[in-house]
Amino acid sequence: MTTTSTTSPRRAPQPSGARRGERQGPEAPTAHGGLDTLVLGRRIRHLRTQRGLTLEDLGSAIGRAPSQVSMLENGHREPKLSLLAQIADALDVPLAELLRTEPPSRRAALEVELERAQRGPLFGQLGLPTVKVGKSLPSDALEALVALQHQVERLLTEHAATPEEARRANAELRARMRERDNYFPELEDHASTLLAAIGHTGGPLSQRATADIAAHLGFTLHHVPDLPHSTRTVTDLAHGRIYLPQGERGGSDSRSPLLQALASHVLGHAEPRDYRDFLRQRVEANYLAAALMLPRDSAVAFLTAAKEERRLSVEDLRDAFAVPYETAAHRFTNLATRHLDLPVHFMKVHEGGTLHKAYENDGVAFPSDPLGAIEGQPVCRHWTARVVFTLEDRFSPYYQYTDTSSGTYWCTSRVQPSSQGAFSVSVGVPFAHVRWFRGRETPERSRSRCPDPSCCRQPPTELAQRWEGASWPSARPHASLLAALPVGVFPGVDTTEVYEFLDRHAPA
């Protein structure tokens, strides 16, 4: 969120004899060609003092008052190129020496940074007095002030990574995915290029082929027993190594974390700038990994044939490409609209009834908060994604029609275990498109009146009369409800643990 300060920076007084075309004011950050006037001024001062010249000496040489030279050196004036040429002649240096973009010394760099900070919006918002940045300011004090500025900016960034900010970022990302039908042709092309490079001609991607992709990209694989607990993989970019856990954590497909790590490398991901950037990178890496495990051409051919025979099934897609059910469900949403002309929705719901993640472009109305975020929202008890938890056989596919406020939808759902509890994974379509799917003949049908509270969020009258005021449940809230998101470049990752791990395993 951007805020605007009501405190304007004070404008430097107009010196007598100022020339036309020379802009005054400390807010002017650059000179002609985008040069930083602060850096330019420090370079002039550095060269002047190196040559033993005073302000008066330089001013006399270029026909300006000493006060005007001081304004130039403090970055308060944007000089013309002709004046810069005069200064370069007076200092006996090429003009290019003045125009170099780096500060001339460590102290000069600190002075520039502090000056820039004091002219920025943060100091204005805090109402702090400015510090005169001159030679009388001790270097240790200058170091401390700049370090303090960094810490204030860091704390503000961490403060912004609240659950509210995360929900807003998730809502924005979901809207962008809907606009593109959750289909990213540039990532599909990346996948096709990598598969062609290893000679993969179609069908499931084997463990060997996955390792071949890593080798093609210049990485060796190392399975270790001490992978940091906050990571799925660790990539040593300096030595071309990818570290993986020995054995599979939580029964997941071991290809997926490796391919996600390779995807981040292929896509040139840098350290995330903020939580939005982190989410975008995660979505891109997951998408490219899935596009490698279920290649577009093979998957589309498989699904097209299934649609022609009216037997579309996420389970069949899973079995044909030997991937987890959730991966197959995600991949189906990538391809369904662009290649099969089917609008679709996807849901992953915790056994506690809350929505973990979802996607739709078929008009289904997910529960959401005022920010438009859906994560953590309670799902109607009558929806397929909740009903499946009530079944005796929770791990076979379950099909159901549900009448909702936004129309009638058919959905297939199944339960999968995880270290965080059981989740249902569901894929559905509007009633008009169900004729293409296995399970369309199901007699199961339900009705949802949500968000009307009388649908399922209020207890029946008889139960309420019997127990209201006579019970006290002890809630088990998720820790994320009580604190801000984990902070750091990669949320939730213990950076110290990762660096210590790399030190242990790096080749001598």
Note the pLDDT of residue 202: 85
Which CA distances in Å does 464 have to 279, 352, 459, 469?
42, 21, 6, 9
Q: How far apart are CA 87 and CA 373, in angstroms?
A: 58
Note the pLDDT of residue 119: 79
Note the pLDDT of residue 411: 97
Query: What confidence tier does 146 reach under pLDDT thresholds 50, 70, 90?
Result: confident
**Which long-range contacts link 112-117 to residues 24+ away (Cβ below 8 Å)?**
112/36, 112/38, 112/39, 112/42, 112/75, 113/146, 113/149, 114/142, 114/145, 114/146, 114/149, 115/38, 115/74, 115/75, 116/29, 116/38, 117/146, 117/149
Is 218 in a helix, a strand, or coil?
coil
Note the pLDDT of residue 21: 37
Note the pLDDT of residue 464: 79
Tens digits of residue pLDDT in 50-101? 999 999 999 999 999 988 998 888 888 888 888 999 999 999 999 988 888 8
Statement: residue 322 has pLDDT above 60:
yes
Query: What confidence tier does 267 reach under pLDDT thresholds 50, 70, 90?
Result: very high
Query: What confidence tier does 150 reach under pLDDT thresholds 50, 70, 90?
Result: confident
Is 423 in a helix, a strand, or coil?
strand
Statement: residue 338 has pLDDT above 90:
yes
Q: Which residue has the higher pLDDT, 184 or 271?
A: 184
Which CA distances in Å does 247 have to 106, 152, 256, 324?
49, 43, 13, 16
Answer yes or no: are the C-beta atoms of 330 and 342 closer than 8 Å.
no
Helix H or strand E segment including 204: none
Share of the chain above pLDDT 70, in %: 85
Tens digits of residue pLDDT in 357-369? 999 999 999 998 7
Note the pLDDT of residue 466: 79
3-state secondary structure 87-137: HHHHHCCCHHHHCCCCCCCHHHHHHHHHHHHHHCHHHHHHCCCCCCCCCCC
Answer yes or no: are the C-beta atoms of 282 and 182 closer than 8 Å.
no
Note the pLDDT of residue 302: 97
Statement: residue 185 has pLDDT above 90:
yes
Note the pLDDT of residue 149: 83
Tens digits of residue pLDDT in 12-39? 333 333 333 333 333 334 434 456 888 8
Statement: residue 311 has pLDDT above 90:
yes
Note the pLDDT of residue 469: 79
Statement: residue 455 has pLDDT above 50:
yes
DSSP strands (E only) in 193-240: 220-224, 234-236
- For residues 225-251, give the mean pLDDT: 84
Statement: residue 498 has pLDDT above 80:
yes
Q: How does the average pLDDT of the chain come out, rounded?
A: 84
Note the pLDDT of residue 33: 45
Note the pLDDT of residue 123: 72
Q: How far apart are CA 360 and CA 98, in angstroms?
A: 57
Query: What confidence tier does 333 reach under pLDDT thresholds 50, 70, 90?
Result: very high
Note the pLDDT of residue 74: 84
Tens digits of residue pLDDT in 392-407? 887 788 999 999 989 9
Answer yes or no: are the C-beta atoms of 177 and 187 closer than 8 Å.
no
Which CA distances in Å does 6 have to 3, 117, 122, 124, 439?
10, 17, 11, 8, 62
Closest CA to 291 of 377, 355, 205: 205
Share of the chain above pLDDT 90, in %: 48
Statement: residue 298 has pLDDT above 60:
yes
- For residues 172-189, give the mean pLDDT: 93
